[in-house]
Structure 1
Amino acid sequence: MDIKLPYSLLAEYIDTSAPVMKVVEALTLCGPTVDRVTPVGKDAVLDIEVITNRVDMASAFGIAREAAAILPQFGIAAKLKNNPYRNLQLAIPPAENQLPLKVQILDQSLVSRFSCLCLEDVVVGASAPDTVIMLEKAGLHSVNNVVDISNELTLRLGQPVHIFDYDKLLGNKMILRESRKGEKITTLDGRQHTLLGKDIVIEDGQGRLVDLCGIIGGQLSMVDENTHRVVLFVQTYEPKRIRRTSLYTQNRTLAAQIFEKNPDPALVIPTLNQGVALLTARTGAKVAGKLIDIKARLKQPAKIKLSLAWLNQLAGIEVSAINIRSILKRLGFTVVGNNTLTVSVPTWRVHDIKLKQDLAEEVLRVMGYFRWPSHFPCTFLDKFDEEPILRLETKIKHFLAAVGFCEVYNYSLVNKTDLAQNDIAKTGAIALRNPLSADYTHLRTSLIPGVLSALAFNAPLAEKLLIFELSNVYLGWDGEHLPEERPMLVLSGWSIDFRELKGYLESLFSHLHASPVTFRENDSQYLGPAADIFIDNVLVGHIGLSKPGIAHHFRLPVCPLVELDLRQVLLRAFVPSQYQPVSIFPPVVEEVTIASKLSVGELLA
């Protein structure tokens, strides 16, 4: 994901004398890449690329933490400031009034942490010019002083925040649950969405949907000029559901992009603290209720052993123990020990730091990979044998291309319509849980539909056409383990007859030294008339003419087809040839003449 950050906002979290371009250079070399720097008056806007597993960097504070660790490696003093993690407890005075609010979470797997607080005496108006300009630099537009605070907190800390109008929550209740298929919600952008089900939503005491969680708020709970009491809530959701909903509703908001990457639940309360402080200062709000803090599922950080000798051996150069400790501590790790360090992973890195190799990567990339001397590795690649199935596939492809066949490639996914109209691939097709398109919903169980489709598309362009596809089909899913990937080969053609295709097949078997090959008449579910193909009395495939109904589905005349199971062919191919020396004696040929009125067939019988 990409974020826009004004440098002035970044500077609120790092104390350094380095000029903007030096900070940009150091970050790009050793941390998040700064793709573009746009001067805006005395400020500059940084376009920063944040990689998927580093959502902790998707904020001004996160980038500042990286810069505070990286800049000292360039001889530049830098110190992190205004660290929100210094206060993980709610730091607000007790409320004079207690607004009633009930929060109910029907499924604990939907949320890892949910915290909220009521405030009153809110005065909604325009934000200060400095706030408006800061948001515009970051690519956001100002709404009002309340909503702008939620967007500003996301930019500052990387933790999305939502604010509801308390009086619009009927029954003073918020119920977080799964959506039901067909439910509708109108969001803040004025769009109405019909939900597919299993989305995370919030309803009020009257069953009205007031929030499409993690994506965008609902119009029913919107803060406007008449709002005087609000609910400030900060939370972290189940990431897969957020991504699914965001994709199919086409709402790729900044909040959605952060929530789908597992932000740190420990940042919830620090963000709530800053939210209350900003609402108090800018809107005159007062706290009017107790903190509601629901911790459904929190992952405990790991402790990892890191040998300094091992790290130096891995790096290939000597890295001082002082520098290793300094880098890790500046990144937020807790470090104890001497020659072997015990490193406690901070809460914001629990998802990507699990091994000592991960710690080594952090140390070495902050130091800068460009500092390492350039040497060819003093090693060699072990000899390995080629996979037999790959050898077989290569040999088949080269032979078929040599005799005039064209290879076709098709998607491994098919759609429901083709399955419903096509008996070939319907049986046992595995449906995807989260297809990205209605055209690709199931894994294919046969190559024949794709080959016939390619034949129908290309046949009008040529008088004669021979095609084949060699790829995997997917069979036998039990609901738990991955399905079997079975390599198959399908041959077909336009303006050729059954005997010609059978001749090509026999030539292929001869080329593969597969024998003895026999054919036994037996119609299949999609071929008829047809025959089973045997090598050494083991069934390896089928040959025949496509059934008229199947051919008609693809707008083709009846055409010949061959389908082979390459696993079975492999076991019976490449039979070693036996050499028989040429006789040193001349051949003896005897000619026999038979006079008969019987037919040749009767005589041979």
Structure 2
Amino acid sequence: MRISFDWLKTLISIDQPAPAIGALLTASGLEVESLEELEGTPGGLRGVVLGTVLTCERHPDADKLSLTTVDVGDDTPRQIVCGAPNVAAGQRVVVALEGATLHPSSGEPFKIKKSKIRGAASEGMICAEDEIGLGNSHAGIMVLDTDLPNGTPAADYFGLGSDTVFEIGLTPNRADAASHYGVARELRALLGQPCHLPEVSGFTAPTAAPANAIEVVIEDEGAAPRYAGLLLENVQVGASPEWLQRRLRSIGLSPINNVVDVTNFVLHELGQPLHAFDADQIAGNKIRVKRATADEKFVTLDGLERSLKAEDLVITDANGQPLALAGVFGGKTSGVSEGTTRVLLESAYFSPAVVRKTAQTHQLKTDASFRFERGTDPNMVPVALQRAALLLQEVAGATIAAPVVDVYPTPIAPTTVRLRLSRVDRLIGQHIEPARIRQILTDLEIDIAEQSSDEWLLTVPAFKVDVTREADVIEEILRIYGYNNVALKPHNSASYLAQFPNPDPEVTRVKIAALLSGQGYSEILTNSLTNSQYFEKDGEQDASLVRILNYNSIDLNIMRPTLLYSGLETIRHNINRRQRDLKLYEFGKTYHQNENGKYQEKNKLVIYLTGNASGETWQQKSEKAAFHDLAGAVQQVLAALGFGGAASQPVQHPYLAGGLALLVHNQPLAQFGAVSPSVLKQLDVTQPVWYAELDWDGLVRKYKPTLAARELSKFPEVRRDLSLVVDKTVTFDQLQQIARRTEKKLLQSINVFDVYEGPNLGEGKKSYSVSFTLQDFTQTLSEQAIEQTMQKLIGQFEKQAGALIRK
């Protein structure tokens, strides 16, 4: 949501700069995501001021030039050479000072420098309107009629001052702040300054209805509790004045015409959506607010024909012909056009649930539906209508032709909430004086209907749709009081010591994230929504997919069953921008639906590796990422969690072209390998990708942090090597497990340092060159003990793996 600072200042007095106001709003819960400076014209007319021509003489060396002295508010007048034919002494003019950069209506910007023109010094420039980008005329300099002092910035004179726009990340519960007036109300409580609604006291309407007045009938009061309409005549549809266009552009809206612009202006000023109908297109001069007929066809303003649902709320004419989807979108035939002269202004309060369902069903998200879905203020309906009518009188020459029709059969009562002051202190954790609480509630327009020493009965206005409970009121008090004003205790301590056997999952995650980041991996965060077409097989989709019923995009219509595809989208995005060497990891959830229709969430840690594993240097060439680069990262994660030396086994993974699983307590909690070429082709990824998926829930559940320490051995370790010829089906992991089962005391580590395959080994054979590190922590190993250990290992390799020992 965009909020103009200048616009805001028309509703509340603010004497602080925009950054300070942004920080104040953020601290109260209206998070200002960014501040954007807007200039009324390119360059903002910086360095351009008003001046007075004191003297004007012909240039001694040029007949068409004049030599002038100009007072620009300094102690010393400036000498300026001017070529305009209409320059004369006594004129009030626009002067660009030395150093100013001008942005003309045509051509490139240019900078004003001190120069000599035909031998005469010139210390600035007297400007024509095209030279400062305010018009196209170059017939002469601009001559002003003003009493403003010399040196006044030209931007102030022309009303082209810069503006600051707040980009506010509005949370769904803060519908009360979805407008400039809503933000002004918030600042009233934060600054202690009064805010005010735009003046509508000048609104007058006829007391008697004319023959062509519009009748309003609400046929579904639950869906439309309040509906007001006002008939305007003699409307001249055309372009809006510059001030109105400038207001709309400041918040990112494009001006359309004066009627539509006024409805948009009032919506963003007061938070109340309005709609303008061409009154001549309303058959029978009657508005009916009713539910639609199932499968009824309706062409909306965007030119699309839509099939209505029976639960849709529509605005129709006397014949039942739809004119608009209530609170969402208008109809093409009833919209305001250049030929419109009679306008019916609509201002209403619609049920948030009804509007939300219609907007989701028809995939229509508008500024109006955004506000109606969250809840608008039913009491703002007549105020917004009067404000818009006065503006249309001003900008479109409209006349008010009939009394306001305001159908409000059952007024919406304010919410009543019981507040206990002791509960305020308990939830906030700090005592706040009752007088301060009273002031905050008053500034928030929450009235105290009854009160006792500890308990107050409050009346909450209808525009605060999210404040319905005592806890909500306390949150409102805390927001305005200030989270930062709640003091922390000087000492946080406990009266006992305890062991916490279960590790904090978040602390564990941070630990592993630091480990991977230290190895050069970058953490990514991808969307939990993905495309169901990724998971189609022969035109059929997996029944376990968790589908989104009200998705906004076909590309994001399910909850992801795996993190692989969103990660590959990130990899593709980077590869397409020539970032080919990637080491990435992500912690995230996957979502599944079991056979019983129950939903499951599972936490995963995934790792991606593609391109070169290391960069090219003068010492070594770059090397492509390989399986063992990824395996090393996975094993380090497991080792950090206390699962070093995990057993492995081949695994058939749906997205991998062959892979390996690491077992923790006989459970496969890590799977990794090369991503299948078919999956890479599906995602348009043009280079191999290595992928690992770890069951984070299982790892955290089994992880028991321990601190083990022992004295460094005083006795040396010994290394022995063996060359084992085995069948190709035998893995190094199998050999490692055999060795560790055979010798548990002396064997400290085992490592493979060479693998060889060749015709001299025989068909289906390969050779592992393996090193063994032996050490005894109580004595120096004797040659006899070493030999006995190695013979024992050799015997088991021959027996269990069918190994042949190469001499």
Code of the residue aligned with 2:348 in structure 1: it is: Q
**Letter of the structure 2 residue corresponding to residue 303 of structure 1:** V
| Per-residue deviation, residues 190-234 of structure 1 (Å, max 9, x unmatched) | x53566988875455667653354456444223568767654432
Equivalent position to 2:696, from 545, 566, 578: 566
Show the 5 A alignment for 1:496-507: none
Shift of 1:476: 2.7
Say yes or no: does 1:538 pair with 2:653: no
Percent pairwise identity: 18
**SS at 1:302 equivalent:** strand
Partner of 1:488: 605
Distance 2:560 2:632 in 1: 28
1: CA distance between counterparts of 2:541 and 2:523? 18
1:537-556 aligned within 5 A: 537-542=666-671, 549-550=678-679, 553=682
Q: Displacement, 1:484?
A: 0.7
After superposing the two structures, state which structure 1 stretch, 25-34 or 201-210, moved more. 25-34
- Residue 778 (structure 2) aligned to one of 576, 583, 587: 583
Matched, 1:192 2:322: no
CA contact (8 A) 1:516 1:535 kept: no
Normalized per residue, which structure has more strand? 2
Residue 307 of structure 1 is matched in structure 2 by 421
The 1:492/1:200 distance shift into structure 2, 3 A limit, reads farther
2:378: which partner in 1? 265
Mapping of 1:53-132 within 5 angstroms? 56=176, 73=192, 93=207, 95=209, 97=211, 101=215, 103=217, 111=223, 113-117=225-229, 119=231, 122-125=233-236
Instruction: Determine the C-alpha separation between the residues in 1 that align with 2:452 and 2:691.
Output: 70
What SS is found at the alignment partner of 1:266? helix
Note the alpha carbon deviations across 1:342-374, whole angstroms, 9 max, x for none.
322122223257434234236636xxx99x7x9
Confirm or deny: 8 A CA contact 1:170 1:205 kept in the other structure. yes
Pairing 1:111-510 to 2, within 5 Å after superposition: 111=223, 113-117=225-229, 119=231, 122-125=233-236, 135=244, 138-139=247-248, 143=257, 150=263, 154=267, 157-170=270-283, 172=286, 174=288, 185=299, 187=301, 191-193=302-304, 202-204=315-317, 209-211=322-324, 213-214=326-327, 217-223=330-336, 231-237=344-350, 253=367, 255=368, 258-259=371-372, 261-271=374-384, 283=398, 285-287=400-402, 291-293=406-408, 300-307=414-421, 319=433, 321=435, 324-325=437-438, 328-329=441-442, 331-335=444-448, 336-337=450-451, 339-340=453-454, 341-352=456-467, 354=469, 355-361=472-478, 364=481, 378-380=490-492, 387-390=503-506, 392-393=508-509, 406-407=521-522, 409=524, 411-412=526-527, 413-420=529-536, 428-433=544-549, 439-449=555-565, 467=583, 469-477=585-593, 483-490=600-607, 509=638
- Structure 1 residues 208, 498: closer, same or farther in 2, change over 3 A? same
Structure 1 residues 55, 399: CA separation in 2 closer, same or farther (over 3 Å shift)? closer
Contact 1:244 1:434 survives alignment (8 Å): no
Of Structure 1 and Structure 2, the greater helix share is in: 1
* One-letter amino acid matched to 1:123: N
Q: Against the structure 1 CA distance between its residues 568 and 303, is the aligned structure 2 distance closer, same or farther, given a 3 Å change threshold? A: closer
Relative to structure 1, the CA distance from residue 283 to residue 319 in structure 2 (aligned partners, 3 Å threshold; closer, same or farther) is same
Aligned letter for 1:168? Q
Match for 2:697: what amino acid? Answer: R
Distance across 2 between alignment mates of 1:466 and 1:147? 50
Tell me what 2:754 maps to: none
Residues 501 and 560, structure 1, Cα contact 8 Å, conserved in 2: yes
The letter of the residue matching 1:471 is F
Corresponding residue SS for 2:415: coil
User: Aligned-pair distance for 1:168?
Assistant: 0.9
Q: Larger relative contact order (C-alpha < 8 A, sep ≥ 6)?
A: 1
Superposed displacement of residue 264, structure 1: 0.7
The answer on whether the counterparts of 2:603 and 2:695 sit within 8 Å (CA) in structure 1 is: yes
Change in CA separation of 1:50 and 1:176 when aligned onto 2, cut-off 3 Å: farther
Query: Letter of the aligned partner of 2:466 in structure 1?
Result: H
Q: How many residues align?
A: 568
Does residue 525 of the first structure (1) align with residue 654 of the second (2)?
Answer: yes
| Stretch moving more, 39-48 or 527-536 | 39-48
Q: Is the 8 A contact 1:408 1:451 kept in 2?
A: no
Aligned equivalents of 2:272 and 2:211: distance in 1? 28
Would the aligned equivalents of 2:175 and 2:464 in 1 still touch at CA under 8 Å?
A: no
The CA deviation string for residues 65-124 of structure 1, in whole angstroms up to 9 with x for no partner, is 6677677x57xxx69689999xxxx99856475867565667x88x4534134648x333
Deviation of 1:582 after TM superposition, in Å, equals: 2.6
Evaluate the alpha carbon distance shift between residue 313 and residue 420 of structure 1 in structure 2; reply closer, same or farther with a 3 A threshold. closer
In the TM superposition, what is the alpha-carbon distance from 1:147 to its structure 2 partner? Answer: 6.5
> Residue 55 and residue 480 in structure 1: after superposition, are their counterparts in 2 closer, same or farther (change >3 A)?
farther
Query: How far off its partner does 1:390 sit?
Result: 4.5
User: Distance between the aligned counterparts of 1:233 and 1:436, measured in 2?
Assistant: 28
**Counterpart in 1 of 2:113?**
none
For the residue of structure 2 that corresponds to 1:221, the secondary structure is: coil
TM-score, normalization: structure 2? 0.52
Q: Which of structures 1 and 2 has the bigger CA Rg?
A: 2
Q: Residue 583 of structure 1 aligns to which amino acid in structure 2?
A: T
1:524 CA displacement: 4.0
CA separation in 2, counterparts of 1:152 and 1:503?
A: 60
Q: Secondary structure at the match of 1:192?
A: coil
CA separation of 1:251/1:209 partners in 2, compared to 1, >3 Å: closer, same or farther?
same
Question: Which deviates the most, 32-41 or 413-422?
Answer: 32-41
Q: 1:175-196 CA distances to partner (integer Å, 9 max, x unpaired)?
A: 5557999977453xxx535669
SS at match of 1:210: strand
TM-score using structure 1 length: 0.66
SS at match of 1:582: coil
C-alpha contact (below 8 Å) 1:92/1:273 kept by paired residues: no
CA distance in 2, matches of 1:258, 1:567: 40
Structure 1 502/159 Cα, relative in aligned 2: closer, same or farther at 3 Å? Answer: closer
Q: Is the 8 A contact 2:526 2:567 kept in 1?
A: no
